[in-house]
Amino acid sequence: MINTGEIEISSPPTDGISNIRFDSKGEFLLVSSWDSAVRLYDVARNQIKQQYTHKASVLDCSFTDTFHAISGGIDLQLKYVDLTTRYEMSLGEHAQPIRCVEYSNDPALVVTGSWDETVKLWDLRAHNHCIGTLEQAGRVFTMALSFHRLIVGTSGRNIWIWDLRKMFEPEQMRESSLKHQTRTIRAFIEGDGYALTSTEGRVAMEYFDPSPEIQGKKYAFKCHRIKNGDIEEVYPINAVAFHPIFGTFATGGCDGLVNVWDGKNKKRLSQFRKYPTSISALSFNHDGTQLAIASSYTHFSKEPPPNLSEQIFIRNIYEAEVKPKAKIVQ
């Protein structure tokens, strides 16, 4: 067998994969799915280490540390689970499904975004847990943390940026620079901005600093588009993951492709093989030597391909695929 540099995870979810996340050491992979389960995989042994369930489909999951997970979804509940003892706790709920869950180290908070047009803040040390509710501009579709900042993308193409240390009103209120609905947001590792994707096959590179000089650096580009003769097929971009060392980033789309980009030099560095169906989620491990890739039908096309199943691949990443190329000085 030819060594392709990747393995397929055994015993994957049985319905759509909503998110995947490596832990801080790169040993375990947390996976949420529409089959109402959250699974913890031991990557090296390629086996399920732990599994727990919600009463309905799970839309997002995250680690708070290597031994604890949070998750939320259609059942409205925010779960906090000890992955060692299997102890489960409901921290509370939203009025409508929880779309996004994140954990902030500074300040130490669980953050949830919901289709009920709110973001809630949860303190694991507090008796009542929920310590604040932030009204949003619409249904929360995506969120990302950038140190003390929270970036929230909602329906209506609104982008609100919050300072979690203040929590009184948004630090900035923006409209997406892309014309179509926001799909996902992920923060630059440098902490000065974020990448935003949409259903139209575009990525926007945005910066927090509102000064004209810095705002002049932002730009958008087309990707995940396939030309068939005179027709250009445009695919939504479902996933973005930043490399933890080089700051380059991978995108995954409904075309089943994963591209790696050098955002600062505006170049594509590599493209991986075509996967069986849409890429629904991506996650680099702690040192960027592996990339977890979820190949999962996202109902982009009217009919799913025949004999389709949910799949997760762990691909070994080589430096040449993700390291920015030095500029040649004339």
Domain segments of the chain: what residues? 6-301+308-321
Indicate whether 1 pLDDT > 50.
Answer: no
pLDDT tens per residue across span 53-69 = 999 999 999 999 999 99
Rounded Cα distance, 258 and 168, in Å? 39
Indicate whether 323 pLDDT > 80.
Answer: yes
> Residue 298: its pLDDT value, please?
84
pLDDT tens per residue across span 220-265 = 999 998 888 888 889 999 999 999 999 999 999 999 999 999 998 8
What is the DSSP-derived secondary structure letter of residue 48? E
Rounded Cα distance, 189 and 245, in Å? 9
What is the pLDDT confidence band of residue 299, given thresholds at 50, 70 and 90? confident
Rounded Cα distance, 153 and 174, in Å? 10
Among 127-131, 279-283, 308-312, the range scoring the smallest mean pLDDT is 127-131
Indicate whether 305 pLDDT > 50.
Answer: yes
Indicate whether 321 pLDDT > 90.
Answer: yes
Quick check: 56 and 36 in contact, CB under 8 A?
A: yes
pLDDT: which is higher, 202 or 306: 202
Average pLDDT of the residues in 294-302? 82
pLDDT: which is higher, 4 or 139: 139
- Please report the DSSP string for 76-124 in residue order: -EEEEEETTT--EEEEEE-SS-EEEEEEETTTTEEEEEETTSEEEEE-T
Q: Which two tokens stand for residue 239?
A: 């996933």
Quick check: 119 and 134 in contact, CB under 8 A?
A: yes
Average pLDDT of the residues in 114-118? 98
Quick check: 58 and 32 in contact, CB under 8 A?
A: yes
pLDDT tens per residue across span 163-201 = 998 888 999 999 999 999 999 999 999 999 999 999 989
Rounded Cα distance, 315 and 291, in Å? 5
| Beta bridge mates, 70 | 62, 80
Hey, is 319 helix, strand or coil?
helix
What is the pLDDT confidence band of residue 4, given thresholds at 50, 70 and 90? low
Indicate whether 3 pLDDT > 80.
Answer: no
Indicate whether 329 pLDDT > 60.
Answer: no
What is the pLDDT confidence band of residue 156, given thresholds at 50, 70 and 90? very high
Indicate whether 307 pLDDT > 80.
Answer: no
Mean pLDDT of the chain: 93
Q: Which of 64, 29, 66 is nearest to 44 (CA)?
A: 29
Q: Do the bridges between strand 231-234 and strand 225-228 make them parallel or antiparallel, or are there none, so unpaired? A: antiparallel
> Residue 167: its pLDDT value, please?
80
Average pLDDT of the residues in 213-224? 94
Rounded Cα distance, 144 and 185, in Å? 6
- b vs e for 64-87, b when ≥16 Cβ sit within 10 Å of the residue's Cβ? beeebbbbbbbbbbbbbbebeeee
Q: Tokens 């990707």 identify what position?
A: 223
Q: 191's torsion region: left (phi>0), alpha (psi -120 to 50) or beta?
A: left
Q: Which of 205, 197, 203 is nearest to 221 (CA)?
A: 203
Average pLDDT of the residues in 102-131? 92
Which whole-number Å values give the CA distances from 87 to 28, 68, 82, 90, in the listed order?
18, 10, 5, 10
Indicate whether 148 pLDDT > 80.
Answer: yes
Query: How many C-beta atoms lie closer than 10 Å to residue 52's C-beta?
Result: 17
Model pTM score = 0.94
Which whole-number Å values give the CA distances from 107 to 29, 111, 122, 146, 164, in the listed order?
24, 11, 11, 12, 7
Q: Tokens 């973005």 identify what position?
A: 240
Quick check: 204 and 186 in contact, CB under 8 A?
A: no
| Residue 297 CA neighbour count, 13 Å, CB half | 14
What is the pLDDT confidence band of residue 327, given thresholds at 50, 70 and 90? low
CATH superfamily for 6-301+308-321 is YVTN repeat-like/Quinoprotein amine dehydrogenase (2.130.10.10)
